[in-house]
Amino acid sequence: MEKRHHELAKFTKKIKTTYIKGVKPEEFTKTLEKLKVNVVVDIRYWSLYPIYFSPKFMRDLLEIHGIEYVKYKALGNPSSLRRRAGENFIYAKQLYQDYVLGNPESNHDFLDLFKQFRFRKNFCLICYCPTFDVKLCHRFWLKELLINVKRQSLGFSEVIELQNYAQKLTPEVSI
Ligand SMILES: [Zn+2]
């Protein structure tokens, strides 16, 4: 395999995602352990409720399990954008990705997060949205953006769109 394909596959494999709505703390940490997560990346716009998943409690909970916790508020999906997009999720993704690259604070957080991937660790993007459909939630839109910036840095010309697992018949390395 070409070196940069290998590099891309390695990068992609480091980005796990999960949600916390309706999930109990012990289920959450079990999922993280199953995914071999070293760092939880909290990208919730609102993070006050439920109280046991507020940033402080989450940090304490994860610490017990030897998992790091980082929070990037500026990578959350602001309610103003969500309101503007309504049920149009194609537009919602576009708004969110433009915001992440274009809003100075978000762009700063994005680059900071991107740099973290040089470490030999697994990361897990977390938010509320109880969905595994990549079309519906900003944790997937952020993952897609990370992969595309990585692709660009490796000299790949095309931009990819994240696909749902069920549709993903081609191996991960080819994206
Ligand atoms: Zn989400």
Q: What is the pLDDT of residues 80-121, one digit of tens each?
A: 999 999 999 999 999 999 999 999 999 999 999 999 999 999
pLDDT of residue 172: 45
Contact status, residue 137 vs residue 128, Cβ threshold 8 Å:
no
Contact status, residue 134 vs residue 99, Cβ threshold 8 Å:
no
Report the CATH number that the domain containing residue 111 is assigned in CATH: 3.90.190
Environment class of residue 34 by beta-carbon count within 10 Å: exposed (0-12), middle (13-18) or buried (19+)? Answer: exposed
Q: Which residue in 72, 116, 80, 113 sits closest to 96, CA to CA? A: 80
Q: Which residue in 85, 75, 81, 146 sits closest to 114, CA to CA? A: 146
For the chain, list residues with pLDDT below 70: 1, 166-175
168 C-alpha to center of ligand 1: Å? 21
127 C-alpha to center of ligand 1: Å? 5
Query: What are the φ/ψ torsions at residue 126 (nearest 5 degrees)?
Result: -125, 145
Residue type, 82: R
pLDDT of residue 165: 72
148 C-alpha to center of ligand 1: Å? 19
CB atoms within 10 A of CB 112: 13
pLDDT of residue 1: 65
152 C-alpha to center of ligand 1: Å? 25
pLDDT of residue 25: 96
Range of the domain at 132: 3-174
CA distance 118 to 39: 13
Write out the residues surrounding ion ligand 1, Cβ under 5 A.
127, 129, 137-139
Domain count, the chain: 1
Structure tokens at 165: 């697992």
CA distance 155 to 4: 9
130 C-alpha to center of ligand 1: Å? 8
